[in-house]
Amino acid sequence: MDERALKLAVLISGRGSNLAAILHAIDAGRCSARVALVLSDRPDAAGLALAHARGIASAVVRLQDHVDRGAWDSALASRAAEAEPELVVLAGFMRVLGPAFLARFPHHVINVHPSLLPLFPGKSAPQDAIAAGMRVSGCSVHVVDSGVDTGPVIAQAAVPILPGDHAEQLHARIQRVEHVLLPRVIDAIARGQVALGPELRVHAQADPDSTLYSLQENAD
């Protein structure tokens, strides 16, 4: 294991295909990171099996086991902090984080979302993009703030919306690029090409072999 690699806590609620993509990219030497903890709000999240299979620490912190949302948010933050992550990655985590969690990891929580933000925030992004008559959608990796999918965008990748697409088909197409972009962004953060802080700074050059990535130098 590369001890210099960026230490991650990954939060999931479901399938965990983005978690799998991160682990695959780490194994392939394309992502200078290591997953120290997988946290879920749901015991039935299929992605937890991935953590178990690889001997990665995991924990479930359910909302319904706490007196209110604030207590749950604090418990989630405390459990994440035990792993001392340098970056928290929301990879299909379907709940909104509260102030206690965000205060524990200021500017160091990122999320992957299946639209080109700021268009189509929320839970039905692929459906919403189709309904709006878009011909292009994609995915965004952004810094998490107190809003729903509103934090500063770090990078995006585009995919076409094809005639007759259903939300599931579009989401599957978007996920294929999520699985490339999210590990790429984590690697860029690990290498200092993206500086997280009160002001987001993106210093990485766009991938010259691809038109998909928006990791590029700031204009300033």
Catalytic residue ranges? 113
Q: Site residues for ligand GRF, window 30-59 (CB under 6 A)? A: 47
Q: What does DSSP assign to residue 90?
A: E
Query: Do 9 and 85 form a contact (C-beta atoms < 8 A)?
Result: yes
* Binding piece for ligand GRF, criterion CB under 6 A, among 12-20, 62-70, 80-88, 127-135: 12-20
Query: Do 8 and 22 form a contact (C-beta atoms < 8 A)?
Result: yes
- # of chain residues touching ligand GRF (CB under 6 A): 15
Q: Is 15 in the site for ligand GRF (CB under 6 A)?
A: yes
* Bridge partners (DSSP) listed for residue 38: 10, 58
**Which of residues 16, 85, 98, 151 is near ligand GRF by CB under 6 A?**
16
Give the number of other CB atoms < 10 A from CB of residue 103: 11
Do β-strands 87-90 and 6-12 pair in parallel, antiparallel, or remain unpaired?
A: parallel
Q: At what angle do helices 17-27 and 167-190 cross, to 10 degrees?
A: 40
Query: Do 34 and 83 form a contact (C-beta atoms < 8 A)?
Result: no
**Which of residues 51, 74, 92, 184 is near ligand GRF by CB under 6 A?**
92
Q: Is 112 in the site for ligand GRF (CB under 6 A)?
A: yes
Q: Site residues for ligand GRF, window 152-191 (CB under 6 A)? A: 175, 178
Q: In terms of CB distance, is 15 or 107 closer to ligand GRF? A: 15
Chain position whose Cβ is nearest to ligand GRF = 92
Query: Do 122 and 149 form a contact (C-beta atoms < 8 A)?
Result: yes
Q: How far is the CB of 67 from ligand GRF (least distance, A)?
A: 27
Q: In terms of CB distance, is 102 or 116 closer to ligand GRF? A: 116
Query: Do 178 and 18 form a contact (C-beta atoms < 8 A)?
Result: yes
* Binding piece for ligand GRF, criterion CB under 6 A, among 7-15, 30-38, 70-78, 155-163: 7-15
Q: Site residues for ligand GRF, window 187-216 (CB under 6 A)? A: none
Q: How far is the CB of 107 from ligand GRF (least distance, A)?
A: 20
In the β-sheet with 6-12, what is the strand arrangement from edge to edge? 58-60, 33-40, 6-12, 87-90, 109-113, 136-143, 153-160
Tell me which residues touch ligand GRF (CB under 6 A). 12, 14-18, 47, 91-92, 112-114, 139, 175, 178
